[in-house]
Structure 1
Amino acid sequence: MPKDSIRDNLEGNELDLSLSNLTVVPVKEMLQLRKATHIDMSCNLLSVIPDDFVKMEWIVKLDLSKNNITRLPEDIGNLQKLQHLDLFKNKLQALPVSMCHLKSLKWLDVKDNPLDETMKKVSGDCLDDLQCKTCAKRVVVFMKDVQSEQERKRQKRLQEQRELDEKKKIEDEKLRQQKKLEKAAEKERKRKIFLEEQERKRQEELEAATDQYHDANETKMNGHLQKSSSGKTGGISCCGILFGLLFGLIAIFASAYVYCEVKNTMPACVEGRVKVMQYIELVQIKTLDLVQQIKDKMK
């Protein structure tokens, strides 16, 4: 419907769109008509009232009777100024819970709608003006109870969800701590393996150094033994030579001595005998000194 046509149907504060073959509510055009506090859209072909319809918070009286409406806006409770609501002869099976917020609602007709049994009992027959007023009060109160029950269930679900979240948080923390302990244990295990490997290498190096030290000492001792053996052999050889010379000299002096005994009248023999004895004593002294030196070197 053109905007001008809608405005043409405005008379004072009443907007009459009844019997207009409407299939869609012209919300955009109606939002421009803030003077229209009484709206009549009865006897049309409407099946749904769009959600943005509740933006017209200035509505006081709304007639939606004799349509094919199956659903009202969930936030219809935003129409805080609404006092009169006619839903007669539609196809509504339920009413929005937000109707509990319609504080100004004084008149409601829901007759000839396929409402559930509970809502039929609450709303009553709506056969006259008094029953429609009673219907408005009872529906608002009932919807408050429904909202309270829904809120209670919502809070219960939230509590259950919080408990589940807390339980999951505790389990996650336990798992985190377990992983932390496992990580620490694995780190400790690797540290022990590292220390054991270091200790093994240190022992191997120590054993190798000890073996090398023993080998070096053994070689050194063998060298000293060989040197001592050579020294002893050399000392023995020197002693043999000296003793040989000593015995040779003694033999020579002995021969000269015997000769002088036979020729003792010769002056040379008398003088030579004395010198021979002196030489023998000197050789004996030197020989003993040499032998002692050799023994000292061999020690």
Structure 2
Amino acid sequence: MASKQSEKLIIAYKAVLGELGANPDMPLPDVRALFEHMGDVTAEPGGIDFIETAAAGVPAMWAVPKGCTEDRVLLCAHGGGYSFGSMYTHRKLYGHCAKTIGCRALIVHYNRSPEHPHPGPVNDMAKAYRWVLDQGITPNHIAVIGDSAGGALAITTLLRLREQGLPMPAATMPLSPWLDMDGGGASFQGNKQVDALVAREMLGDMVKMFLGENGNRHDPLVNPLHGDLRGLPPAYIQVGGHEVLLDDSRDLAEALRRADGEVKLDVFPEMQHVFQFLAGAAPEADDAIAKLAAWARPKLGL
């Protein structure tokens, strides 16, 4: 049974949907401001310095836990449908991840759609990765992590790096990845009544901003399920059991296995989309992040 504390995320998601429903013509800056409060449910991790920087011209934020191993780095892609969310909304979440693993995190504030449609976000993530390499961090000491749209970027960034001839990082950790722009998974219908945030209509609007009216939804840098996933680093996927996007995670795990990849998939019963937002506030989120750390530390040589 889900904890009482986990209900905080359901309340937060319903509040966002309520505001959007009451104001269907809300301007994009106001919608973004609304989503900036998503990080409010995350407890302050404490013991972390947050330092804003620029990674090859892309705004970013370092999360540096006290006493961490500084030559290991999490490269973090925030969620928000490629149009919302920021390094600020996800500062605390990825701070918790970095602190539990014992390394630094670089949270990339990639340029968002519709001002910067595809392939803007994935190109910015690749720029940030190359910049981390230029700081003297070796590829085997880097892990990529992302949630929702950022969960897709945790895979598509690898495909872009391969195109550019760059070495692969040690690992990748997609959290509740959003891959299928058509919403074709059976979980879209099966979890429709229990997912507190994601709905087909919302995703349709985000797709239009990200790809335009005629963008290619089957571009592997949009949906990596249509790409060649051979040779990618080990992947650890986490997803909530009540998500309409549950099948995206299952399909990704199966595709990676077919490509002879190392993959671990954990489905957390009754959990919502990116329930890790509740880090420090709900036991399920803390358990998930502890599992991420236990898996990632040996991959990073910690």
Higher strand share: 2
Structure 1 or 2, whichever has the larger Rg, is 1
Same fold judged by TM-score > 0.5? no
Using structure 2 for the length normalisation, give the TM-score. 0.27
Higher helix share: 1
